[in-house]
Every structure is written in C-alpha cells, then in structure tokens.
Amino acid sequence: MQVPSPQPTVDPPSFALEVAGDPPKATVRVIGELDMLTAPRLERELDLLCDRGYRQVDLDIVDLTFVAAAGLTVFARSDRRLRALPGRLRLVGPTPRCRRLLALTGLDATLTIS
C-alpha cells in the first residue's frame, strides 16, 4: 500500500496596507511581502484611491521585506495611471535591496523615488 505524500503547505505571506490622508493626497504604507498573491490587493487599493480623487500618492515601502515582479508591475501601472490623471506616485523609503531591484529593472529612471 502506498501512502500519499502530504501536500506541501505554504503559509500566506505576511502583508498589510495602511492608508492615511484626504484627497488629493494619500500615504499608503505597505508592510511585508509584495508578490503575486499580495500585489493585486495593493493594485486594487491604489485604483480605488484614484477613483476617489487622490492624485498624489506616497507609497511608503520601508517595511517591505520582499518585492517580486508582480509588485514592480503594480508600481509601474499605478504610476502610469496617476500620471495620466494628472497626478503622481512616489515611492518612499525603499530599502537598499529594493533600490537595487528598481535599478536593475530600470524603474528607478521612470518612478519618483525618495
């Protein structure tokens, strides 16, 4: 008799968003891991802010512990959407590792980073 091997379990990534501010300015603090599972949540929140009249969004990413390609895609898409309104997205407090990732992908040349 064969015993089926247990399915690997994957804990959901640690992720949280905190939003503060009144239109037209907002600060969104992103905490934890930004990957293919969590990036859609951030994108929905940023889209919602745009729909509600926010035009200047500071994305506080100092507490991000991991950024995957899906997270970088959200940064680029949200930046394009806000610029078209017109508005702006600013990445605040990227870690050295995140800055390197932004540089390697060329996003440091297109995104506003402080």
In a domain, 8, yes or no: no
User: For position 105, which CATH number holds?
Assistant: 3.30.750.24
| pLDDT reported for residue 48 | 97
Q: How many domains does the chain have?
A: 1
The whole domain housing 66 covers 15-113
Domain annotation covers residue 103? yes
Burial label, 35 (beta-carbon count in 10 A; 0-12, 13-18, 19+): middle
Say if 2 falls within a structural domain: no
What's the pLDDT score for residue 6? Answer: 64
- Helix H segments across 8-95? 39-51, 69-84
Asked whether residue 10 is domain-assigned, the answer is: no
In a domain, 5, yes or no: no
**Residue 106 falls inside a structural domain:** yes
Tens-digit pLDDT string for the chain (114 aa): 566 666 655 555 699 999 999 999 999 999 999 999 999 999 999 999 999 999 999 999 999 999 999 999 999 999 999 999 999 999 999 999 999 999 999 999 999 999
Residue 1 belongs to a domain: no
Report whether 89 contacts 55 (CB < 8 A): no
| Amino acid making up residue 71 | G
What pLDDT is stored for residue 40 in this prediction?
97
What is the reported pLDDT for 111?
97
This prediction's pTM = 0.87
Question: Can you tell me the distance from the alpha carbon of 8 to that of 58, in angstroms, rounded to the nearest whole number?
Answer: 38
